[in-house]
Structure 1
Amino acid sequence: MSISPMNKMQWLIRRELWEHKGMLLWTPAIIGMVMTVLGSLMMVATIAKTKMRTAMTVNGNEVSWNAVFSTRSFGPRRMEIIDTVANNYLVTAAPLFLALGFLVFFYCLSALHDDRRDRSVLFWKSLPVSDAQTVLSKVAIALLVAPLIVAAAASLTSLLLVLILSGVLAANGIHVFAELLASPGLYLGPLGVFGLLPVYFLWALPTVGWLLMVSSWARSKVFLWAVGVPLLLLVLTVWVGKLTQTESDLGWIQMNVIGRALLGTLPGGWYLFEPELQQQMHAAKNMNVFANSWSSLALPAVWLGAAAGAALIYAAIRLRSWREEG
């Protein structure tokens, strides 16, 4: 009985998750749990410390922060604070998003090299699975599955921290739970994170392609080849720019070619590569990361990089089929 290509891809992805569950599953889960515990302790300590202080003194009477926050005159300001928390609470998950960049980087770096190093490539080549399917399953893990896992962990961790904060405030006489649940930002935040995954896919594609090609080609010292070659090119472009007085002309190459070869897996890295996006973000009165990030797809650099990434992935497939070990 023949197996359809879709079923083969599903089994290959399951294999990758099983072999790298420590990196892809447990690492985000542990980071999320540590963030939740530390964040909870910091909240309790901060609220307890603030409760001991007086907000102001009126006619010789000390007024606590709890009383100020609960007054009717503070109502508009209270709702403004609650909306700000609801709209930006996912910022607390920044360590998880940063971890995603490193997870994808090192996963791609070892994805094809480890198969050759432990000779398991001979076993997988004996199965009715093509080199293209094997490499594309690793691309799917790096650009689809891993970001989905981290996005889910980040959303859950941030939501838990907000709920714990509401509980701590309620225990100290400040009840914001109802208003928080009524705020649309509480529900739109996670949707925005998942909605940015296609943007991440396109911006990270050159780095993933470069790392997989090096992983498929290098016999040893994979990290040195993957990082050393771009850094050497960076030094050469800086040297040529100094000699020819063309630093500004070579700046685009340094950021969009060399920089994206190493830093493309970092979420939000498009703000590093395109100064125009930084200017738009600073010029906007209300920073909308979602809309600003999607607007980056209008830039030619993202599509040129995606095409280069696809070409590098094709090279990785060909190299895997040509490379002989032992």
Structure 2
Amino acid sequence: MNSMVALIKREFLEHRGAFLYAPLALLVTFTLAIAAAIGANKLRLPYEVGVPSALKYYEIGFAFIAALWLFYLMVALFFYYADAFSADRRNNSMSFWKSMPVTDFKVLSSKMLAGMTIFPALIFLAVLVTGVVLYFHTMLAVVAMPRLIVPSAFEVIASSLRIGFFALVYLALALLWYAPFYAWVGALSTVFRRWSIPLALLIPGLIGLLENLFFSDTGPRAGYFLTFIRQRADFGPDRDAMQAAFLSAGPVDVGLLLQSLFASIDWVQLAGGLIFAVLAVYAASEYRRRVIAT
């Protein structure tokens, strides 16, 4: 257990630029940009809006920024796994880790777990900090928009807890749903190093092309394989449920969002994807153990 904690800590130290320093820089940029817009009196409230409460604007803004953070995380994790599984070969530390009393499977598992735990936790913390920054900016916006009614701290806390809880559940399920994709590019990285990035997309594309060439008259339009990949990449609540939850007159209906999210998940596919992820990591560790000597 101690060795696994040490391995995950190593992953954090080696990749803190993408998951700590870059989010901090984005937070500072966001804070300064909004503050400058308010200070320069660039914010305007449309006349037809009347005298609204800013709580709905805050909720929509917070949810939108949370979605951007989650998108950043998913993209960053793709490049992380494309790099991390072969990083030891690049920095000449393979001999050191093979001399340690840890298996190759444990080393690669620590990389997989780091991307599923500590890095998402850092991004989720950035989501929460962004919500605090957004609230203070809402308070400052009263100077530029006197008709704006700033929500109370209690209203903002309650709203933040609702949206933050949904973001946390969504993040956890999305990580489990996309785990096979990340394990796939990581396993390719073990063999092909950074070429795994184009190959992760090229190989499925070629499989789909061959299927369409040989079985063009059967199955769905894009072929069974590419149709499955497209459906497997789709994740999230129903769009109508999202609009109903966020555009309602009252607070965001998180219960409706969670109900739609759970209903949209194929739990058998999720379990199968996790099994595939474990097998991919194990296959990569066996290649690392048997083929890569140093």
Q: Bin the TM-score by the shorter chain.
A: 0.7 to 0.9
| Farther-moved stretch of structure 1 (155-164 vs 14-23) | 155-164
Q: Select the residue among 127, 136, 140 that pairs with 2:113.
A: 140
Whole-angstrom CA distance in 2 between matches of 1:50 and 1:239: 56
Which secondary structure does the structure 2 equivalent of 1:224 belong to?
A: helix
Closer, same or farther: CA 259–117 of 1 in aligned 2, 3 Å: farther
Aligned to 2:252: none
Greater mean alpha carbon deviation, residues 83-92 or residues 102-111: 83-92
2:17 alignment partner in structure 1: 22
Question: How many Å apart are 1:280 and its aligned residue?
Answer: 6.3
Distance 1:255 1:279, change over 3 A: farther
Return the match for 1:227 from 180, 196, 201: 201
Q: Secondary structure at the match of 1:10?
A: helix
Q: For residues 83 and 180 of structure 1, do their structure 2 counterparts lie closer, same or farther at Cα, with a shift above 3 Å needed?
A: farther
Alpha carbons 2:238, 2:264 under 8 Å: kept: no
Runs of 4+ displaced beyond 6 Å: none
Structure scoring higher RCO (CA < 8 A, sep ≥ 6) equals 2
TM-fit CA distance, 1:225: 2.6
Question: Which amino acid letter does the alignment assign opposite residue 44 of structure 2?
Answer: T
CA distance in 2, matches of 1:308, 1:301: 10
Classify the secondary structure of the residue corresponding to 1:244. coil
1:37: Cα distance to partner?
2.3
Residues 179-194 of structure 1 aligned to structure 2 (within 5 Å)? 179=152, 181-183=154-156, 184-194=158-168
The 3 A distance-change label for structure 1 pair 223 and 44 is same
1:197 aligns with 2:162: no
SS at match of 1:50: coil
Aligned position for 1:89: 62
Query: Which of the numbers 140, 152, 174 marks the counterpart of 1:167?
Result: 140
Higher mean Cα deviation, 29-38 or 121-130? 29-38
Residue by residue over 1:56-87, the C-alpha shift from the partner in whole angstroms, topping out at 9 and shown as x without a partner, is: 8xxxxxxxx8xx52xxxxxxxx34x5245336
Residue of structure 2 in register with 1:7 after alignment: 2
2:101 alignment partner, SS class: coil
For the pair 1:301 / 2:273, whether they are aligned, the reply is: no
What's the C-alpha RMSD, in Å, of the aligned pairs? 3.0
Q: Could you tell me whether the CA contact under 8 Å between 2:185 and 2:197 is conserved in 1?
A: no
User: Which letter does structure 2 place at the counterpart of 1:149?
Assistant: L
- 1:11-60: per-residue Cα shift (whole Å, max 9, x none)? 11111111111122112222222222223334555x65537x8x48xxxx
Matching residue's letter, 1:28 = P
The letter for the 1-side match of 2:185 is L
Q: Corresponding residue for 2:241?
A: 281
In the other structure, the counterpart of 1:270 is 235
Name stretches of at least 5 consecutive residues in structure 2 with no aligned partner. Answer: 247-255
Q: Are 1:50 and 2:9 an aligned pair?
A: no
What residue is the counterpart of 1:237 in the other structure?
A: 211
Q: Show CA shifts across 1:193-228 (max 9, x none).
A: 222233022111111210121112226633233232
Which segments of 5 or more consecutive residues in structure 1 lack a partner in the other structure?
Answer: 1-5, 57-64, 70-77, 272-276
Equivalent position amino acid for 2:119 in 1:
A
1:98 aligned to which of 46, 71, 76: 71
Are 1:107 and 2:66 matched, yes or no? no
Q: Rg bigger for which structure?
A: 1
Give, in angstroms, the shift of residue 103 of structure 1: 0.9
Following the alignment from structure 1 to structure 2, what is the Cα–Cα distance between the partners of residues 43 and 234?
A: 51
Q: State whether structure 2 residue 167 is matched by structure 1 residue 207.
A: no
Could you list the per-position Cα deviations for residues 157-213 of structure 1 after superposition, in whole angstroms to 9, with x for gaps in the alignment? 133123212222156434634535325213222222222233022111111210121
Are 1:314 and 2:282 an aligned pair?
yes
Sequence identity (%): 20
Separation in 1, partners of 2:231, 2:206: 12
Secondary structure of the structure 2 residue equivalent to 1:150: helix
Aligned length: 284
CA distance in 1, matches of 2:240, 2:268: 17
**C-alpha contact (below 8 Å) 2:183/2:277 kept by paired residues:** yes
Aligned partner letter, 1:188: R
Distance in 1, Cα, partners of 2:43 & 2:144: 14
1:41 matched to which residue of 2?
A: 36
Task: Name the TM-score, length of structure 1 as normaliser.
Answer: 0.75
Aligned equivalents of 1:318, 1:24: Cα separation in 2? 29
